[in-house]
Chain A
Amino acid sequence: MTRAASGVAAAACLAAAVGLHAAQDARVSAPVVDRPDLLYVRSPAAMRRAALGYHGFAADVYWIRALQHFGRERLAPPGHARTYALLYPLLDLTTSLDPYFSIAYRFGAIFLGEPYPGGPGRPDLAVALLQKGLAEQPQKWQYMQDLGFVYYWHMRDWQTAASWFQRASDVPGAPSWLRPLAAVTLAEGGHRSASRTLWQQLAQSEEAWLRDSAGLRLRQLDAMDAIDALESRIARYRDGHPNEPLTWPGLVAARVVPGVPVDSSGVPLVLDPSSGRVTVAPESKLFPLPGQKPDSGS
């Protein structure tokens, strides 16, 4: 066979392979296997050795894996059992390989404590990760602020949260708003205004994902304010009409509300006909609101 004929044969075979590939994609779908992510090395000590002198690069690889794992679990279809099982091990490996990888600690602080289905609901692991970061950098006020945040938002321990905000404010170079935040947390722990102050500070962050998360929380707080106002008007109407089942069309007709109320993501709010309680719908981007059961949708 001549060289030219061999070249033509190679090109023809490659073209056939491409054609078969495309045809298979169009006609036969590959079996979908919903298998959990795997993590072969879980020991930070072993990984530190295996990485030789390339700790920074290995940490970057685990950081990207942590983001992908979190994103895949969070955006998984409803049939998928979201476990976020690898989020902490991956962040632990990342921060063991690169103990100064601040964003990995802060990412863990925000999302490890996030209740299911938005996160694994493990504020204890968020605290452990941040304590590890503080052991490496004891003067990092951002980690203390994040610890205060985890205790405040996820663990509802206002006393400990305030003490962390106070400690953060004592670090030289820490921003001036931390001291009043500590005072507000202590005085108004659990109040919505204190939560709003906390999230407004986090919304000033340079990190886009942190700003997005804070923006969502602030919209949730706005929704909770709006729901309170609605519930109080509905309660007043109910006092005058005790046996009437409550529906949005009925309330609109009675001019209790001007129209079916929607949340900031444009999804109508859900009204419980018997109790008159209002909440966001499960399909809303704001679902679940703090304190709302994620599985019930009410």
Chain B
Amino acid sequence: MNAARFVAMAVFRESIRDRVFYNLVLFAVLLVGASILIGQLTAGQDVKIIKDLGLSATSLFGLFISIFVGINLVSKEVERRSVYPLFAKPVRRAEFVVGKYAGLLLTLLVNVVVMTVALYTVLFFLARGVPGNIQRAWDAPALDPALLEAIALIYVDLALVTALAVLFSTYSSPMLSAVFTLGLYVVGQFNADLKRFDEIVSSPAAAWIGKACYYVLPDFARFDVKLAVVHGIPVSAGYLAWTTMYAAVYIAALLFGACVIFSRRDFK
């Protein structure tokens, strides 16, 4: 697995070289700018709105990185023919795919950690000087540690999106990979509707297909606890554990699939 680690570090270095982390500057400007302006516009809801904005931006920026970097991870190497000299070395194809995935995961981790620190810093300055009686009326404290639960699930969600992007990247063009990944992400937001498909169709076969799709397609809505956390509604440790476990198993399936597809490709 040394080879996978080597590939992962190369991906991380490449993302620095490609200025992927520039999005952090945009994130910081967005948060600081919003925290200055928003107090004038929101009738006392600035902390809630900064939390919503910070969590949404963390998720959205991460999503863009996952998809648009993820879809190029493997296909770009194939297109540039840089995989040929790589496979002349003792690097197995599975190690290459897993390394690529782990490298992007590391990039996303750094990204999410820096965004989290920025969010807590802005919330700290926003809550400073607010009288205690007003703070007590908030649904949750400004520096609520529970925000980390939502952020952790955002990261797990991004890990799953990245795995999808890597899978598609092993056999499809970047353009099609982006469409497939984004499409599955959107469908995954409405998974609950598929489960209740039998309420609107009379055909048992269609209802069965809907239910099957519900279980087979990735359920991205499951990772969204942003609203609950912002309103101080507790998210149980069991929920977090089950959701993370579900994502881990799903990611493993996608990566196994990616390795199988990639190992069958002919590079001669």
Contact = CB atoms under 8 A, between A and B. Distances in A.
A49 B190 contact: yes
A86 interface: no
B52 A56 contact: yes
Given A52-B189, A206-B134, A98 B42 contact: no
A103 B224 CA distance: 23
A239 to B, nearest CB: 50
A21 to B, nearest CB: 23
B117 interface: no
B44 A64 contact: no
B176 to A, nearest CB: 21
Nearest to A65: B41
A207 B137 CA distance: 9
Interface stretch (B55-63, B165-173, B196-204): B55-63
B114 interface: no
B139 A208 contact: no
Given A52-B186, A98-B227, A100-B139, A57 B53 contact: yes
A63 interface: yes
Contacts of B41: 64, 67-68
B230 interface: yes
A107 B60 CA distance: 30
Contacts of B186: 52
Contact of B44 (A53, A56, A59, A208): A208
Nearest to A57: B56
A207 B52 contact: no
Interface in A111-150: none
A177 interface: no
A55 B233 CA distance: 16
A209 B44 contact: yes
A68 B221 CA distance: 31
A98 B139 CA distance: 13
Given A49-B190, A209-B44, A56 B134 contact: no
Given A49-B190, A56-B55, A57-B56, A100 B233 contact: yes
Interface string A171-215: 000000000000000000000000000000000001111000000
Interface residue tally of chain B, by bracket? 20 to 34
Contact of A103 (B45, B60, B134): B45
B233 A103 contact: no
B43 interface: yes
B127 interface: no
A67 B44 contact: no
B231 A100 contact: yes
Contacts of B45: 60, 63, 103
B220 interface: yes
Q: Please give me the 3 A-B residue pairs with the lowest Cβ-Cβ distance, nearest first.
A: A206-B137, A56-B52, A57-B56
30 contacts: A52-B186, A53-B189, A53-B221, A54-B59, A54-B60, A55-B226, A56-B56, A56-B226, A56-B230, A57-B53, A59-B52, A60-B42, A60-B48, A60-B52, A63-B49, A64-B41, A67-B43, A68-B41, A98-B227, A100-B231, A100-B233, A103-B43, A103-B44, A206-B134, A207-B43, A207-B44, A207-B137, A208-B44, A209-B43, A209-B44
Given A63-B42, A207-B43, 19 more contacts: A52-B189, A53-B220, A53-B223, A53-B226, A54-B56, A54-B60, A56-B230, A60-B49, A60-B53, A100-B227, A100-B233, A103-B44, A206-B44, A206-B134, A206-B136, A206-B137, A208-B43, A208-B44, A209-B43
